[in-house]
Amino acid sequence: MKYLFPGIILSLALASCVGNNVVKKNRNLKFECTNDFQVSFSEDITFLNGDSTGKITVRVRSPRLDGEYPMEQAPAASGVKYVSKNGKYIFWEHHGEFSFGTEDSTYCLCK
């Protein structure tokens, strides 16, 4: 029992010496698309000791739609698919092409 307290102190001291591995990944893309749409894609991800937190945002400007949409990555058969947190909008990336729309309709196609 007399070695328990010093053992805890030593464990805490060693744990504080372990460095935090922080890696940040940022990606920003801008597109001039069909139908007078301007689409900006922003991805900011931080990896800390094996865990990750991220923020993905798609900003759309057009005569029909103007807004900023927080997105989450979703499963896709091919390419990379992002879905707005409310589930309404989709931003899809495949072979250098990008599209923005809903499940029923593509609003714009960007190359």
**pLDDT tens digits, residue range 35-91?**
888 999 898 888 887 777 788 899 999 988 899 999 998 998 888 999 998 999 999
Whether 58 and 41 have beta carbons less than 8 Å apart is answered as yes
Q: Sorting pLDDT into bands at 50, 70 and 90, what band is 14?
A: very low
pLDDT band of 19, cuts 50, 70, 90: low
The domain locations on the chain are 21-110
CB 76 within 8 A of CB 99: no
DSSP single-letter state for residue 17: H
Phi-psi region at 102: left, alpha or beta (left = phi > 0; alpha = psi -120 to 50) = beta
- Rounded average pLDDT over 11-25: 61
The span from the CA of 85 to the CA of 72, in Å, is 6
pLDDT of residue 53: 79
The answer as to CATH 1.10.3470 being correct for domain 21-110 is no
- Evaluate if residue 1 carries a pLDDT over 70: no
